[in-house]
Amino acid sequence: MNRTIKWGLIVGGGLILLLIAALVLLPKFVDVKQYKPRIEAQVTKATGRSFSLGDDLRLSLFPYASLSFSDLHLGSLPGFKEKDFIIVKSFDVRVKLVPLLFKDIQIKRFILKGTRLVLETSEDGRTSWEFKPKTTPELSVKTPTEIKKPRNAESGEGLALKAFTLGELAVTDGSVLWLDHKKKERKEISDVTLLLQDVSLDRPIGVTFSARLDKQPFSLKGNVGPIGKMLGKGTIPLDLSVRAFEQVDMALKGNVVDPSTQPKFDLTINVSPFSPRKLLAAAGKAMSVSTSDPGVLNRVSFKAGIKGDSKNVSVSDGVLDMDESKVNFTIKAGDFEKPRIAFNMDLNQIDLDRYLPPPTKKTAGEIEPKATAPKAGKKSDYSKLRRLSLNGTMRIGKLKIKNAKIERVHLALTGEKGIFNIKPLTMALYQGDVTGSGMLSVQNDVPGTNIQLKLDNVQAGPLFRDVLKKDFLEGMLKAQIDLIMKGDDAVAIKRTLDGNGDLLFKDGSIKGVDLNGMVHNAKAAFGLAEKGAKAPRTDFSELHVPFSVRNGLVSTANTALISPLIRLKASGNADLLKELLDFRLEPKLVGTLKGQGDTKDRSGLMVPVLVTGSFSSPKFRPDLEGMLKQEIGKSLPGIQDKVLGTDSKKEESGSVEEQIKGILKGFGK
């Protein structure tokens, strides 16, 4: 028995020595270079491209299986401007063979130098990376039950290894060139370097990567792993830092779980402050939008925890700093085919006017063009919004938009099947409060909107001065507004605007018009006397403006003003599309000076006032003919006949307005 074992060991040892000798001596007696022409011919035939290798092709099998070559050239297909698709200056790999039998991968070195890849699109749309399809004989079609899945695919397990070591991996002097002759675009990634040192399964892998994107530097450095013996399975730690264009520094830290089977991740991201403007400038691009303030978008930072898998993603402890604004937020998203998004955002302050496009500059005398309906074209696609499910809240400490200063904004936003609701909505506005709600529906091709607002104790003067740039009205405002509209552009919205509202101003004044003067001194009120130093105004205790809107036409029939000296009623329309005014004011003199508590309608001299013109330039003038018919004829007999044409000399006396102006010269003395 012992003799049998002895001879078995001798024979086995001899076979091993014979195998080692063959591995050592075979490359010395076999000149692999003589096979180079055959290799080149076979690759050319298989790819349909020219292929060549340098003369220093070498092969070794012991103690490492090694392969090295230089000057590899794989050409482009005919019709492309670039001669080569791939170029490799040198390649050298060394792997131990025997340990492979025991799932022990030992790579001494993997060196790839001077690789150049050209991705080219011709003017007719062909791409250089399309290879000649292989022709294969017809195969019998197997049923799904006959097709065997790989064991790993069935079990969900990764590739099990006993050990893995890599002494050195170096990819240097690489480049990728993107050429699109159809779009006239050229992009290049150059100076690509990837270095890995002392790689194994049971300790972190040091990674160093750098490149230039269109000559701008990009780098990544840090540790990955340990990756474990089950490749692609288990928890893999990451600790990486990224620097881009010498502007952005980002730290990425956390874990990736089961990346090859059921990938999950739990990471923290921290982006140090950087300037988006400088980043785009470094990338050779200008800002895609123009902002009113060129000083914005010069400081942005970001940090958050991101966790998820292939079906769900959540962002926690998010903080975005942008210029003087800071947003704290959390986001959860899932079911990406029909997205479900929940969020909570808290913004300390933002001046949106700084980020909006600058106002269009007008030359002297130029009239601002009226809004016109957009040309018929491609309809907006709201299909993605119809699939979206939304649920979130937002708080804003201070908000400025269109020069309106708003504080303590709080809103809840929900959406499902193309209907989005804002409810509740609360905010502080110019020492008052605003509550309301809103709804947007995109279930149809034309979106519809419904808005309800309630204003309480809002100071109207500062609001109108800031938003409208007009100082014409003061007072404490209470209001209720309910509007509906359709369309996705300003003209369509104005044309379909319907609804009603009620505005109540308390203890204020109308600036630019003196209704008291129109009653007591019509000559001075309408510019027939010399102007005094004091600007005209009308103080009131209450101004009530109920209104309705139909197809963009705002109408009121019972607007009323109460002041100590006069009572005023107004009726008329405001055309939102044409931006024109057409109102008639009927003031009446109060017979007593009882004060603001007096609500009785007093008799007195009635001087109707017509308000016409545009929104930007309203005009006030007396209704002279109406005044003459209703009042002057009663007080001054004979004058009415003279002015209105009952006198035979009417035509010689000029227009009614000119005659009344002459008569008014005697009033107010």
Instruction: Give residue-wise pLDDT tens across range 93-144.
Output: 888 766 666 676 777 888 889 999 999 888 888 888 876 554 444 444 454 4
* pLDDT value of position 544: 95
Q: Which residues sit opposite 570 in a β-bridge?
A: 559, 585
Average the pLDDT over 480-493 and give the result: 91
| C-alpha–C-alpha distance, residues 519 and 604, integer Å | 9
668 pLDDT above the threshold of 50:
no
Spatial neighbors of 340 by CB under 8 A, at least 6 apart, are: 332, 333, 334, 389
* pLDDT value of position 56: 82
535 pLDDT above the threshold of 70:
yes
Exposure string over 564-574, b if 16+ CB within 10 A, otherwise e: bbbbbebebeb
Domain range list for the chain:
19-128+158-231, 248-321, 447-527+535-628, 629-669
Average the pLDDT over 596-615 and give the result: 64
Strand ranges inside 512-595, DSSP E: 537-550, 553-562, 566-575, 580-589
Q: Is 475 left (phi over 0), alpha (psi -120 to 50) or beta?
A: left
* pLDDT value of position 357: 87
Summarize pLDDT for 315-336 with one digit per residue, the tens.
Answer: 999 999 999 999 999 999 998 8
Helix H, strand E, coil C: the string for 294-343 is CCCCCCEEEEEEEEEECCEEEEEEEEEEECCEEEEEEEEEECCCCCEEEE
22 pLDDT above the threshold of 70:
no
Which helix (DSSP H) or strand (DSSP E) does residue 626 occupy? helix 624-627
Q: Which of 171-180, 449-458, 620-629 has the highest mean pLDDT?
A: 449-458
Which helix (DSSP H) or strand (DSSP E) does residue 634 occupy? helix 633-635
The pTM assigned to this predicted structure is 0.73
Q: Is 485 left (phi over 0), alpha (psi -120 to 50) or beta?
A: beta
Average the pLDDT over 62-89 and give the result: 85
* pLDDT value of position 585: 83
Q: Which tokens sit at 397?
A: 């400490």
Q: Model confidence at 589, in pLDDT bands (50, 70, 90)?
A: low
Q: Max CA-CA distance within the chain?
A: 157
Q: What percent of the chain has pLDDT over 90?
A: 37
376 pLDDT above the threshold of 60:
no
* pLDDT value of position 541: 92
Q: Which tokens sit at 516?
A: 């008291």
| C-alpha–C-alpha distance, residues 497 and 491, integer Å | 10
13 pLDDT above the threshold of 90:
no
| C-alpha–C-alpha distance, residues 662 and 520, integer Å | 17
* pLDDT value of position 43: 86
153 pLDDT above the threshold of 60:
no
Query: Looking at per-residue confidence, does 70 or 643 come out higher?
Result: 70
Spatial neighbors of 586 by CB under 8 A, at least 6 apart, are: 568, 569, 570, 606, 608, 609
Query: Looking at per-residue confidence, does 396 or 53 come out higher?
Result: 396
171: helix, strand or coil? strand
Q: How is the chain split among helix, strand and coil, in percent rounded to 5?
A: 20, 50, 35
What's the alpha-carbon Rg for the chain, to the nearest Å? 42
* pLDDT value of position 606: 61
* pLDDT value of position 101: 66
Which helix (DSSP H) or strand (DSSP E) does residue 452 occupy? strand 448-459
Determine the number of helices (DSSP H) and then strands (DSSP E) in the chain: 13, 31
Q: Which of 516, 533, 526 is nearest to 568 (CA)?
A: 516
Whether 276 contacts 296, CB under 8 Å = no
Whether 271 contacts 250, CB under 8 Å = yes
Whether 503 contacts 545, CB under 8 Å = yes
- Name the pairing type of β-strands 235-244 and 618-622: unpaired
Summarize pLDDT for 448-460 with one digit per residue, the tens.
Answer: 999 999 999 999 9
Q: Model confidence at 243, in pLDDT bands (50, 70, 90)?
A: very high
Summarize pLDDT for 424-482 with one digit per residue, the tens.
Answer: 999 999 999 999 999 999 999 899 999 999 999 999 999 999 998 888 899 999 999 99
* pLDDT value of position 219: 94
28 pLDDT above the threshold of 80:
no
Helix H, strand E, coil C: the string for 339-394 is CEEEEEEEEEEEEHHHCCCCCCCCCCCCCCCCCCCCCCCCCCCCHHHHHCEEEEEE
Average the pLDDT over 290-303 and give the result: 92
Q: What is the 8-class DSSP label of residue 614?
A: B
Q: Scanning the structure block, which residue is given the tokens 């079990």?
A: 155
Summarize pLDDT for 378-426 with one digit per residue, the tens.
Answer: 678 888 889 999 999 999 999 999 999 999 999 999 999 999 999 999 9
272 pLDDT above the threshold of 70:
yes
Sign of CA dihedral 149, 153, 154, 160: positive
Q: Which of 139, 307, 160 is nearest to 233 (CA)?
A: 160
Q: What is the mean pLDDT of the chain?
A: 79
Cis peptide before 424 (omega within 30 of 0): yes
Average the pLDDT over 140-167 and give the result: 55
Spatial neighbors of 623 by CB under 8 A, at least 6 apart, are: 584, 607, 608, 609, 610
